[in-house]
């Protein structure tokens, strides 16, 4: 017997120490995120482990699972609570210790284990925790599995069984690093800034880049879970500016920034200018489709329109489809279509053979960028970027919106633009050319400028992105048009950053 989790409990009480707390909103579309001790306690994490073990059995998958944890002050204790629940459910647990998330995905292949539960809050601020889960490598859970997991955990429908066991795999990172670096060394001598924001990737990224032949300038690679400089998130301008300063100071060829759990990579060129991940994706797609005929790519709805309009990609026969934002959605779609790669604006890149195994790994992305430069010996990173058709793009901007309200707001915004299109109305002074509604709404107007509004899958926020192939003014016009619709909803709060 195990008690049903409560949605709210208060620290420094008997109940908090003796009952599980699991806030229902922590079950997101494709992973789980909670504020530790405010929305979930250790007993709640134990319940999550038992629920995950029960779901794995229900799916008919062998109850054998890889676990690892990211570098935060509380992640190890959360992992051990999760392990106790997994073992109670009958799972054989393979623990790889401190790890970046893709190391756990790699372990599924290397140890021949079907399931994964990686304890990480990814790029979320300190205080957050979470778990990325999967039971069918290289895929991670989507909404169906997450909804069923939520049902099992909140109803304490565990059906625990005996037979659980635990094994710790010593020095597992060496196997991961050897796998990544088992390739010909770069012919070109590249000087690379490796920025880790004091997060987990600091333990591994410099070693990997050195092993493929780079001269590495380490930036905030010391592990420090207080994140004293900034949150390790290569979409945040603070981290990008720190990389810029280091690139210019050291005259580096490129700056590579890794997020808190190492599954994303941000890029700053040799002039110190950040290149948003969707543009990096276009550059990599050009490079890869030159080698592989009729290459297929998948990109998320937040990404640049250049994937469709770029003349080089067109000439090389590359085909691109837009899909839902989110690492699980993108991973699944890239896998279903057997695409060469999937690119997400947040920096999650998914490389299939011969580049990768289909899961997102910031270090695989970093290697792909270095190899792209290696194949363009006379060109700098800024040369490759400047060769793209010019567009003006915003960073990802996130106004606050409660988890309980955000999907309703987005539904209303979608309906607004669908009605406007039917009426022949205008957005930012132009008729609507196209609406994509696979994930929120992406509104493209006659001159190719577009704006996106969707709900964040892992934070109480909305996501807004705008781009124009015409001018900065038109990009700002699109932002004002999208924001003016959002301002009709009082549930929408302040932005984390704006253009």
Q: Which residue has the tokens 């300063």?
A: 245
CB 5 within 8 Å of CB 44: yes
C-beta of residue 49 within 8 angstroms of C-beta of residue 88: yes
Q: Which residues share a beta bridge with 498?
A: none
Q: Quote the tokens at residue 413.
A: 């915004």
Choosing from 89, 122, 346, 394, which is the catalytic residue?
122
How many angstroms separate the Cα of 71 from the Cα of each of 75, 123, 209, 223, 228?
7, 11, 20, 7, 14
Is 89 catalytic? The answer is no
Q: Which residues participate in catalysis according to the annotation?
A: 122
């Amino acid at each position: 017997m195990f008690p049903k989790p409560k949605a709210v409990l208060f620290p420094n009480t008997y109940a908090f120490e003796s009952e599980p707390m699991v806030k229902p909103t922590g079950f997101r579309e494709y992973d789980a995120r909670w504020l530790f001790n405010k929305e979930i306690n250790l007993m709640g994490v134990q319940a999550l482990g038992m629920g995950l073990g029960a779901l794995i059995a229900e799916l008919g998958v062998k109850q054998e699972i890889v676990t690892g944890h990211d570098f935060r002050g509380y992640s190890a204790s959360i992992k051990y609570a999760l392990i106790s629940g997994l073992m109670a459910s009958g799972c054989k647990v393979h623990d790889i210790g401190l790890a970046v998330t893709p190391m756990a995905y790699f372990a599924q292949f290397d140890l021949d284990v079907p399931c994964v539960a990686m304890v990480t809050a990814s790029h979320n601020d300190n205080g957050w925790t979470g778990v990325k889960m999967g039971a069918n490598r290289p895929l991670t859970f989507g909404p169906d599995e997450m909804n069923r997991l939520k049902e099992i955990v909140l109803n304490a429908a565990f059906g625990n069984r005996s037979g659980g066991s635990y094994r710790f795999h010593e020095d597992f990172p060496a196997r991961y690093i050897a796998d990544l670096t088992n390739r010909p060394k770069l012919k070109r001598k590249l000087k690379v800034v490796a920025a880790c924001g004091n997060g987990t990737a600091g333990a591994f990224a410099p070693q990997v880049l050195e092993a493929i032949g780079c001269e590495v300038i380490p930036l905030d690679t010391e592990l420090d879970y207080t994140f004293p400089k900034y949150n390790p998130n290569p979409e945040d301008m603070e981290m990008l500016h720190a990389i810029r300063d280091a690139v210019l100071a050291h005259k580096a060829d490129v700056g590579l920034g890794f997020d808190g759990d190492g599954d994303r990579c941000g890029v700053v060129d040799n002039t110190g200018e950040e290149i948003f991940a969707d543009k990096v994706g276009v550059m990599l797609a050009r490079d890869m489709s030159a080698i592989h005929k009729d290459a297929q790519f998948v990109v998320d709805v937040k990404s640049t329109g250049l994937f469709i309009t770029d003349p080089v990609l067109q000439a090389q026969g590359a085909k691109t489809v837009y899909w839902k934002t989110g690492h699980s959605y993108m991973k699944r779609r890239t896998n279903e279509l057997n695409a060469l790669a999937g690119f997400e604006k947040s920096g999650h890149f998914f490389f299939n053979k011969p580049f990768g195994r289909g899961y997102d790994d910031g270090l695989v992305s970093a290697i792909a960028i270095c190899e792209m430069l290696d194949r363009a010996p006379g060109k700098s990173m800024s040369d490759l970027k400047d060769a793209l058709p010019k567009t003006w793009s915003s960073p990802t901007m996130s106004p606050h919106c409660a988890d309980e309200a955000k999907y309703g707001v987005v539904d209303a915004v979608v309906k607004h633009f669908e009605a406007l299109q039917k009426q022949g109305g205008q957005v930012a002074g132009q008729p609507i050319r196209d609406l994509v509604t696979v994930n929120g709404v992406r509104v493209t107007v006659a001159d190719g400028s577009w704006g996106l509004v969707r709900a964040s899958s892992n934070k109480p926020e909305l996501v807004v992105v705008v781009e124009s192939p015409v001018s900065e003014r038109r990009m700002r016009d699109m932002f004002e048009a999208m924001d003016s619709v959002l301002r009709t909803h009082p549930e929408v709060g302040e932005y984390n950053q704006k253009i």
